[in-house]
Amino acid sequence: MTRIIADISVSLDGFVTGPDPGPEGGLGAGGDALHTWAFSDDPEDRRMLSEGTARSGAVVLGRRLFDVVDGPDGWNDEVGYGAAEVGTPSFVVVTSAVPERVRRADLDWRFVTTGLPDAVALARERARAASSERGKDLDVVLMGGGVTVRSALDAGLVDALVLHLSPVVLGAGTPLFTGAVPRTLVQRKVIPTSTATHLFYDVV
């Protein structure tokens, strides 16, 4: 069964970027520290990354995050979703306008201008198609940014939440939960590593 999984790195004080993120600023001041775990040699961190990308039949992201990952300092053959791990999934971008050009035209980008629920529905279709091709259940992963993940949680679109809690205090940036609709979470796993604490919840 295809599930909708929100999966995002967050600081101890609840931010998913540092101050001033953007295409040229990346994840903002200090924001790169949130993803230290993804480049770690810790075996458990490697397993988290491998298992997370292997389950991804489609990935949803917001336009601001797309502008970062497809920007001049964004993803390349060595750094990116699933790089050196698995074949890359479809990427569904929630946006008000389709970009005029895409730098990483080798990736399967789909742009949805009719809202987040439609983007998640398209991603579910893509994940189910990928599941049939690979012969195993694959999920939709909401990778961010923070507004996209929070909006999906608020709208009741998320089945599970995975937080990679990084041992860093950013002080400012993009908050994950400010003003969020109250939700009940059921804790399923907690995996501490040398660089992060990986938290797994079902959303009920």
What mean pLDDT do residues 177-184 have?
Answer: 84
pLDDT at 195 over 80: yes
Q: Can you give the residue ranges of every domain in the chain? A: 4-197
User: What is the percentage of the chain residues whose pLDDT exceeds 90?
Assistant: 69
DSSP code string of 13-37: TSBSS-SS-BTTTBT-TTGGGGGGG
- Structure letter (DSSP) for residue 142: E
Candidates 3.40.50.970, 3.10.20.440, 3.40.430.10, 3.10.310.10; CATH matching 4-197? 3.40.430.10
47-83 tens-digit pLDDT:
998 888 888 999 999 999 999 888 888 888 777 775 5
Instruction: For the chain, give the mean pLDDT.
Output: 91
Top pLDDT among 77 and 197 is at 197
What mean pLDDT do residues 106-122 have?
Answer: 96
CB atoms < 10 A from the CB of 204, how many?
8
User: What is the percentage of the chain residues whose pLDDT exceeds 70?
Assistant: 97
Q: What per-residue confidence (pLDDT) applies to 80?
A: 75
Cis ω for the linkage preceding 145 (within 30 of 0): yes
Query: How far is residue 105's CA from residue 44's CA, in Å, rounded to a whole number?
Result: 32
pLDDT category at 87 given cuts 50, 70, 90 is low
Q: What is the pTM of this model?
A: 0.91
Least confident of 5-14, 63-72, 81-90, 142-151: 81-90
Query: How far is residue 88's CA from residue 58's CA, in Å, rounded to a whole number?
Result: 9
User: Residue 11: which of 162, 170, 190 has the closest Cα?
Assistant: 170
Q: What per-residue confidence (pLDDT) applies to 161?
A: 97
